[in-house]
Amino acid sequence: MEKDNEKRENGKNPNKKLRFLIDILLWTLMIAIIIGIGVYIYTTQKKNHSEENILSYTDLVKEVDAGNVEKIEMTVGSTTLKVKLKDVEEEKTAIIPSTQVFMELVQQKTLEGSPINLEQKSRSILSQVPSYIVSLLPTAIMLALFIMIFKMQGIGEKGEVYDDTERKVKVSFDDIAGLDEEKEELKEIVDFLKKPKRFTEMGAKIPKGVLLYGKPGTGKTLIAKAIAGEANVPFISMSGSEFIEMFAGLGASRVRKLFEKARKLSPCIVFIDEIDAIGSRRTSNSGAETENNQTLNQLLVEMDGFSSEETIIVLAATNRPEMLDKALLRPGRFDRQITIPVPDLNGREAILEIHSKDKKLADDVFLKNIAEDTAGFTGAELANILNEAAIIATRKEHEAITNKDLDEAVKKVTVGLEKTSRKISEKDKKLTAYHEAGHAIVSQFLPTQTAVKEVSIIPRGMAGGYTMYKSDEDKYYISKTEMEEKLIALLGGRAAEKLILNDISTGASNDIEVATKIAKDMITVYGMSDVIGPISLKDNDGQLEYQMFGDDMQDAIGKEVKKLIDIAYQNAQEILKQNIDILHAIASELMAKEKINEEEFNKFFN
């Protein structure tokens, strides 16, 4: 939600898309109405002209001679007559060869003394409307289609680039918590924007591009806006994915328009989010990729074309730096690269402080506790936790957000919403209880794994139950032993199922998936296998690359991954066998209480 607001503020106006959809709906409606009118006219005409209703001229003369005609209605200039016969309710339509021939018949009958009751009408404009509509129908449909295509192109041409851009950005560096070194580095960019002359007079070239690398939600957009806010310059933003168009050449045209606008607003910041969508390595393929290449080429051309009077700094963000085309990183383009890390403990606490400013917190709330429990969380996730806590507190009618509300919010964000109303069979309850107890007990005996915080068999999100561990301290490296023990903890659930129920279930699928990924990375990315050695076997796109080492390497990788998993599974079973009484006791406690906390769990080990 918060992020949505942010994006709206950026000028990435979602209303545009809504308006575009409404336009399409209106055009479709218009075409449908035109077709509807056409079909209506066609069917009524068809009805009037249906076989039994039509009189040929010979039939008409016969009916006149027989004195069966009550009245004839004739529109001036028309060769179609409306004929009312005596004793027949429905009017008939008579087609005459020409008005002259018919008028001769009328004269003849008058002379014979049996005049025809003829009513002559002048041609009204209204009566001609249906035939005009029918004749204009194809032209109208073509016109509507053309306008629709132009509108779509218009979105491509103008896009969201022009919206809101001149509005002053109100974000400043004070709104960004943590990231002190990064802010320090970026202050230089603020100086370039504020006093470009100072640098150019010295002969320095103003940098053109800064690339921000970091996981989604680490605050890259926030930083870009804060730079514009600090320098008091306009902020133009667009997302890489918005450049990707189904019409060839539109992506490049959007880039051109974006920079045209930037030149007019200089000095300014151009922010391109998700640059990997257009900036991924160029290929020689055709179709969509050629369109992508054109867009990227246009971006490079624009960046190369800045003149010394123009102070435009392009900030781009990505979380997949390895995907970027090398040409983007050359000097004179995005030659400055700044990594935006996931916040550490102090950073998390500071982010929580900033986002709790507009929230009502109970006096005993200690944000440091939440910061300790959320290692690895990004700024966006932390902001989300506070928002969820505020919603939970409101729903529970609390006076202010309590520690419990915050705890619940962390669980909701990490594992999902608690589903207390879901009916669970006794068999499934038992299976989940042993599975979760298995994880918890195994981790308790592994020195590198963090302490158990809560074990529950109440379903949450997609999980039937969960074991929550205390958060780890911030660390930059993970050792091989730690990874091996993680594998054991992950397989503790499956091991308990096998040991106690002598059967295995689908409940362990996620554990197995995570464990296999860790084992594969240990072998192919971190070089942790003695058999294979310290060799990186994955390319930049994460694809396995063993071909150059021959088929034996493929075999060896498979064997090494399997060995790691097998050993971990055996170890998990071993730990549980040795503590089988505790396993039964914790599983029964879980079946009775559904949830046990850290204190209750630790009692089983005293």
Taking the complex as a whole, the smallest distance from the CB of residue 564 to ligand ATP amounts, in Å, to: 33
Preceding amide of 267 cis, omega within 30: yes
- Give the residue, chosen from 12, 92, 208, 220, that forms a contact with ligand ATP under the rule CB under 6 A: 220
- Residues numbered 195-214 forming contacts with ligand ATP, rule: CB under 6 A: 214
**Is residue 6 near ligand ATP by the rule CB under 6 A?**
yes
Tell me how far, at minimum, the Cβ of 135 lies from ligand ATP, in Å: 54
Assess contact for 356 and 393: CB atoms under 8 A.
no
Least Cβ distance, residue 258 to ligand ATP (angstroms): 18
Quick check: 2 binds ligand ATP (CB under 6 A)?
Answer: yes
Taking the least distance from each CB to ligand ATP, the nearer of 219 and 507 is 219
Minimum distance from residue 480 beta carbon to ligand ATP (Å): 31
Q: Which of 299, 289, 307, 309 is nearest to 330 (CA)?
A: 299
Q: What is the 3-state secondary structure (H, E, C) of 257-322?
A: HHHHHHHHHCCEEEEEECCHHHHECCCCCCCHHHHHHHHHHHHHHHHHCCCCCCCEEEEEEECCHH
Q: How far apart are CA 3 and CA 8, in angstroms?
A: 9
**Residue number, 379 or 438, with CB nearest to ligand ATP:** 379
Which range, of 106-114, 219-227, 474-482, 564-572, touches ligand ATP by CB under 6 A? Answer: 219-227
Answer yes or no: are the C-beta atoms of 406 and 365 closer than 8 Å. yes
Burial of 591 (0-12, 13-18, 19+ CB in 10 A): middle
Which residue is it, tokens 């694809």?
543
Q: Which is nearer to ligand ATP, 378 or 571 (CB)?
A: 378
Query: Is residue 468 a contact residue for ligand ATP (CB under 6 A)?
Result: no
Q: Which is nearer to ligand ATP, 107 or 339 (CB)?
A: 339
Q: Contact, 219 vs 175, CB < 8 A?
A: no
Q: How far is the CB of 179 from ligand ATP (least distance, A)?
A: 5
Nearer to ligand ATP, 2 or 119 (CB): 2
Counting residues that bind ligand ATP (by CB under 6 A) gives 23
Q: Which of 156/214 has CB closer to ligand ATP?
A: 214
Q: Is residue 354 a contact point for ligand ATP (CB under 6 A)? A: yes
- 453 φ, ψ (degrees, to nearest 5): -105, -35
Q: How far is residue 5 from each of residues 1, 8, 69, 214, 495, measured CA to CA in Å? A: 6, 5, 76, 21, 47
Tokens 């429990």 belong to residue:
373
Q: State yes or no: residue 221 binds ligand ATP (CB under 6 A).
A: yes
Structure-token pair, residue 70: 């009550």
The sheet carrying 209-213 orders its strands as 235-239, 268-273, 312-318, 209-213, 336-339
Query: Nearest-CA neighbor of 290 among 258, 326, 323, 248?
Result: 248
Q: Are 275 and 316 in contact (CB under 8 A)?
A: yes
Strand-strand pairing, 452-456 and 466-469: antiparallel
Task: Provide, rounded to whole angstroms, the least separation between the CB of residue 3 and ligand ATP.
Answer: 5
**Residues 376-415 contacting ligand ATP, CB under 6 A:** 379-380, 383
Give the residue closest to ligand ATP by C-beta.
379
Examine residue 219 and tell whether it contacts ligand ATP (CB under 6 A).
Answer: yes
Which of 230, 302, 381, 436 is the catalytic position? 436
Q: Which residues, 6 or more positions from 496, have their beta carbon under 8 angstroms from its beta carbon?
A: 434, 435, 437, 438, 439, 441, 576, 583, 587
Choice between 183 and 263, CB closer to ligand ATP: 183
Mask for 156-195, x = binds ligand ATP (CB under 6 A): --------------------xxxx----------------
User: Which position among 222, 226, 392, 442 is part of the footprint of ligand ATP (CB under 6 A)?
Assistant: 222
Judged by beta carbon, residue 222 or residue 500, the one nearer ligand ATP is 222
268: number of CA atoms within 13 Å, CB side? 21
* Contact partners, residue 561, CB within 8 Å, separation at least 6: 516, 519, 520, 523
9 is catalytic: no
Q: Specify the residue, 221 or 524, whose C-beta has the smaller distance to ligand ATP.
A: 221
Interface of this chain with ligand ATP, residues 127 to 146, rule: CB under 6 A: none
Which residues, 325 to 344, sit near ligand ATP by CB under 6 A? Answer: none
Residue (178 or 234) nearer to ligand ATP, CB: 178
In the block, tokens 């959320």 appear at 374
Give the H or E element holding residue 497.
none
Q: How far is the CB of 348 from ligand ATP (least distance, A)?
A: 9
| By the rule CB under 6 A, 3 interacts with ligand ATP | yes
- Give least dist CB 277 to ligand ATP, A: 12
- Rounded Cα distance between 406 and 281, Å, is 43
Stretch that binds ligand ATP, among 135-143, 216-224, 262-270, 287-295 (CB under 6 A): 216-224
Stretch that binds ligand ATP, among 128-136, 220-228, 556-564, 565-573 (CB under 6 A): 220-228
Question: What is the total residue count of the chain?
Answer: 606
- Shortest Cβ distance from residue 318 to ligand ATP (Å)? 8
229 lies in the site for ligand ATP, by CB under 6 A: no
Nearest in space to 427 (alpha carbons), one of 419, 437, 435: 435
In whole angstroms, what is the distance from residue 319 CA to residue 239 CA?
A: 13
Nearest to 237 by CA among 495, 444, 10: 10
CB of 176 to ligand ATP, least distance (A): 5
Stretch that binds ligand ATP, among 38-46, 157-165, 196-204, 215-223 (CB under 6 A): 215-223
* Site of interaction with ligand ATP (CB under 6 A): 2-3, 6, 176-179, 214, 216-222, 273, 317, 319, 351, 354, 379-380, 383
Active-site residues: which are they?
436
